[in-house]
Amino acid sequence: MTTLRGYLRLLGGKTVARVAAAAMLSLLAAGSTVGLLALSGGLIASCAIAGSATAFSVYAPSGGVRTFALTRILSRYGERLSAHAISLEWLIRLRRKLFVDLAALPVAAQRRFASGELLDRAMADGDAVVESLPGAVLPLAATAVTVAVSTTVLATINLFAATLLVAGTAVIVATETHASRRQRRLAADVARSRGAARAQLMAATAAANELVSLGAIAEVRSTVAGWIASAAVKRTAADRFDRRIAAAISVSEAVTTLGVAAAVLTAPGISLPRATLLLLMTIATVDLFADAHRQLRQLTGSATAATRLAQAAPAKAEHRSPSSDAVTAGVRVEMPSTGISAQPGETVIVQGRSGSGKSTLLQRISDRTADVLLDRRPARELPVRAVVLVAADEPLFCGTVAENLRLGRTDLDDLEMRRLLDDAGLGELAPDTAVGHGGRAMSGGEVRRLAVLRALVARPRLLLLDEPTEGLDTSTAQRMLGLIREELPHATVIAAIHDRHHSHLAGAAHRVVEIGMHRTA
């Protein structure tokens, strides 16, 4: 639960008032439900006793019934509307935090997770965490306050009946608390099987062509189906346990209601209308626990999901955003096994034909393999943000230009963003321009330039560029390489460029290294 409370802080101080308003609406809805049943029952009992022989005013109680009914409808609608709006905002912040925290982890830590497992945590676990607000936290808080108010009202009339209600409530809460431990274990088992199935599916999708050629599709399908079946079996076991707990709680509710009814009906000097009102108030109050069981199950699942998210991306991960005026010192790069090196502040172009190993070279430097030395130290000793790779297929995230660029630096303002866009020949784009899913609303050249700009604003000490000129004409390519040096005058830049672009861009480099030819210019 501590982890879940930590994620709740992502909502920030400005959202506290909205959460408080949603909680108040939830309380009004729960209180109106109890008041509606109690008052309407009391009114019916009064009418039955009065019959045709006695005249009494129905306007006050019937007005109360209408008030409770309308309040219940409107407050429930308002609570759902506001709570889900807050949850959507929370989900956006939660996934952004997960992405930033994961990006700040060391490469070795990132490799502990398969892409499918991370996707499962970002999607399913993220959804489970934010559902705790409308599905558990708010209704449980409203239930607790409503039970307290109902108990107080009952105690003013019949203390023994109120004591029975408190005792019954304590038994139900104790049962739920005991059950929540096993529910948490069962939820974790389901999540592990589901994550394994998604990881297998993602891996199979990435290697689909190879699997088809090897005739291994059926085997992979069987493996994925096995994990899905395992998750289904574990979910069935969890549901079966929940049904047993629900049955036990239903028995406790029935015993509590009968005990309060006996205490009220045997109390001396209590009228039938008042007794009816108290009984129906008790029934409505106890009935709230039927939903409380589902809500506590949701809270347990959300807490488990929050723990899994925290394990994926610990909050202690370092991800300070560089300042706009930070001076970025270069880094000395050495790969003794290949003879490749670069000095601080140097621009090195790696030239070679397709398949000569240019991308592999950059990937090895980015992955900080054992043979890579940065500043004559093992590469893994440098902070993660010190090295940025812009891959040949670098993706843009579905959103706006501003949202993509601010992944590199969160405090990037619109003025500086527009300047960078103009310098890159993207002046027709605005910060709020949508890039489409994976950048599909942009041309290939625009996607490449935006990806490079995102890397520039991150202020890395070592910038690795794989085919940065792909899709660009010669003048635009030279303009981009010039912009890189303007923005990162002291950083080390290593760019892999295809042979056909070399003659146009060689002048922008301090050195040109030819892969496969063993010649350095």
Instruction: Give the pLDDT score at 94.
Output: 82
Helix then strand count (H, E) for the chain reads 18, 10
With cut-offs at 50, 70 and 90, classify the pLDDT of residue 78: very high
**pLDDT above 80: residue 23:** yes
Confidence (pLDDT) at 180: 76
Specify the pLDDT at position 521: 47
Residue 138: what residue type? L
pLDDT band at 172 (very low <50, low <70, confident <90, very high): confident
Residue 354: what pLDDT? Answer: 74
| Lowest-confidence pick of 123-127, 276-280, 411-415, 500-504 | 500-504
pTM, two decimal places:
0.59
Encode pLDDT of 242-299 as tens digits.
888 888 888 888 898 899 888 888 888 788 778 888 888 888 888 887 777 778 777 8
How many whole angstroms separate alpha carbon 469 and alpha carbon 412?
25
Structure tokens at 145: 């306050």
As a CATH number, domain 1-312 is: 1.20.1560.10
Using CA atoms, how far apart are residues 306 and 321, in angstroms rounded to an integer?
25
Q: pLDDT tens, 149-163?
A: 988 988 888 889 889
Q: Where in the chain is the domain with CATH 1.20.1560.10?
A: 1-312
Over residues 402-443, the pLDDT tens digits come to 989 988 888 889 999 999 999 999 989 999 999 887 777 888
pLDDT for res 324: 47
The domain at 333-514 falls in which architecture?
Answer: 3-Layer(aba) Sandwich (3.40)
Is 116 a residue whose pLDDT tops 60?
A: no
Q: Which residues contact 390 (CB under 8 A, 6 or more apart)?
A: 451, 452, 455, 463, 464, 465, 466, 468
Read off the pLDDT of residues 382-404 as tens digits, 9 standing for 90 and up.
777 788 889 888 888 888 999 89
List, by residue range, all CATH 3.40.50.300 domains of the chain.
333-514
User: How much helix, strand and coil, in percent to the nearest 5, is found in the chain?
Assistant: 70, 10, 25
d(CA 270, CA 340): 95
465/28 Cα distance (integer angstroms): 58
> Residue 266: how many CB atoms within 10 A of its CB?
12
CA distance 260 to 265: 9
